[in-house]
Amino acid sequence: MSRTAVLTPNGALAAGPMAALLANHAIPGCEVTGTGTSGRSHIRLLPTPGGPRRIAVTIRPDAVELTADTDDDAEFAHLTRTTRRWLDLDTDTTAVERAFDADPLLGPLVRRRPGLRAVGYPDAFEAAVMTVLGQQVSVAAGGTFGGRLAAAYGEPSASGLTLFPTARSIAAAPHEELRAAVGVTRTRAATVQNVARAVVGGLTLDPDADHALQRRELLAIPGIGPWSADYLAVRVLRDPDAFTPGDLVARRALGNPSIRDAERLSEAWRPYRAYALFHLWTAATYSGP
């Protein structure tokens, strides 16, 4: 049995960029995207206290429709909260747009795409691993690596979808076996396992916890550098003022400044630098409305 709810955003909704981001970053085997009569859909498993549940989100022009395979009120409420946070539906984007309106670079971008959301990840460990796998490669290549990792160590479900591997399963995998299964370098495979062992050892990536402390803990993991820590601050810790000055796509959108100059330029966009980043990413990679 399934339940459905319409999740209304706080302000406008830039549906096209949201749907495109979900499709571009989908992990093969774990996530499926498609187009229906009312919008573009994204299907995956989400964890609940009672176990993983299949959900489908349909991105409509004015709202997100959530359908979940559960008839339990508490589970459905949990999935609703997770989805709202994941898709950043509670942020008042009107306030963000007012803050950027007079900016010569961002003003035209926010007027073109009002309601652009800082879409995150629904699972912190999955996000951390996919960030590592996506370092210095294309989004498509990172997705391919993630799909291989899930096929080797994930948990198949009756829905036909695979649940992304747990930290324990990745931490315990023989290193060479994991490297060969995913097709990455030994260094990249080691970083994936370092992240998994840190999570098993107590690392949590929690938007409601101390962001500075979590950043220090991330940077202490061998193989995790400033770009990865900054990226996770934006997409997992949900810090509205986080920024990735080392991001190549963002720097291209800024005219290819140095990392130091990109950081300096971003000061004008406080306290919403994460939203500036999403507008820069979208302008550089998305041509739709």
6's enclosing H/E stretch is strand 3-7
What are the residue ranges spanned by the domains of the chain?
3-90, 124-285
Instruction: Say how far apart CA 84 and CA 66 lie, in whole Å.
Output: 10
pLDDT per residue over 103-159, tens digit each? 999 999 999 999 999 999 999 999 999 999 999 999 999 999 999 999 999 999 999
Q: Are 59 and 42 in contact (CB under 8 A)?
A: yes
| pLDDT value of residue 14 | 97
Amino acid found at 176: E
**Beta strands of 147-260 (E only): which ranges?**
155-156, 162-163
Tell me the backbone φ, ψ of residue 54, rounded to 5 degrees.
-75, 130
CATH code: domain 124-285 is 1.10.340.30
pLDDT per residue over 48-100, tens digit each? 999 999 999 999 999 999 999 999 999 999 999 999 999 999 999 999 999 99
pTM score, two decimals?
Answer: 0.96
pLDDT per residue over 156-214, tens digit each? 999 999 999 999 999 999 999 999 999 999 999 999 999 999 999 999 999 999 999 99
CATH code: domain 3-90 is 3.30.310.20
| pLDDT value of residue 105 | 96
Closest listed residue to residue 179, CA positions, set 200, 193, 197 = 193
Confidence of residue 1 (pLDDT cuts 50, 70, 90): confident
Angle at 3 between CA 165 and CA 159, to 5 degrees: 35
Instruction: Say how far apart CA 242 and CA 181 lie, in whole Å.
Output: 34
**Beta strands of 31-97 (E only): which ranges?**
31-35, 40-46, 53-59, 64-68
Q: Are 229 and 218 in contact (CB under 8 A)?
A: yes
